[in-house]
Amino acid sequence: MFVIAGLGNPGKKYENTRHNMGFLVVDRIAEKTGIKVNKIKHKALVGDGMISGHKALLVKPQTYMNLSGVSLREIVDYYGVNMSDLIVIYDDFDLETGAIRIRKKGSAGSHNGMKSVIGHLGSGEFPRLRIGIGKSGLLDWKDFVIGKVASQEKGTIAGAVDRAADAVICILEKGIDKAMNEYNIRSNKLE
């Protein structure tokens, strides 16, 4: 079984913020596949179903970003998930707004949610998909990531969320190498 986890913060206050890119992608995957993400289990909002012939669990941890690893640890342990079958989706302000980057494994970088995930799992040996949210400019980075997406960025972000959902489906359908070749682009302007 694949576990597809989008990182974010629960609640209306954080809806459509830059830090909730993972939640937005999971919601988009759910729309595309008909999976309902409406059960609370393992400190997460979850939904299970089939994606490209594979059993999949869509996950939106409800522990707040900085404790995302608590929920994912429970899920990985409960289902006996291999690290290669866990895909984590999150925002990255080191990538240009709208850019997507898929990696087979890696570090947390400066992302506190990923620090929690890697710390609780004891490993960074799992695939991840990052969505660029751009630089904060003059804003404090904390205010920037939990801030609403600017109106001039909404189309770019919506396109990135849609491409990211397609990329995750491609990972399940064709493998991560194919998805990396197809979706890892430096900028949304390259399309």
Which CATH number fits the domain that encloses residue 44?
A: 3.40.50.1470
With a cut of 50, list the residues of the chain below it in pLDDT.
187-191
pLDDT at residue number 187: 47
| Domain tally, the chain | 1
Q: What is the DSSP string of 41-97?
A: ETTEEEEEEEETTEEEEEEEESS-GGGHHHHHHHHHHHHT--GGGEEEEEEETTS-T
Q: What is the pLDDT of residues 88-111, one digit of tens each?
A: 999 998 899 999 999 999 999 989
Determine whether the annotation assigns residue 64 to a binding site. yes
Check whether 66 is labelled as a binding-site residue. Answer: yes
90 is in an annotated binding site: no
Active-site residues, by number, are 19
pLDDT of residue 141: 66
User: What range does the domain containing 111 cover?
Assistant: 2-190
pTM for the full predicted model:
0.93
pLDDT of residue 138: 65
What is the pLDDT, as a whole number, of residue 71?
98
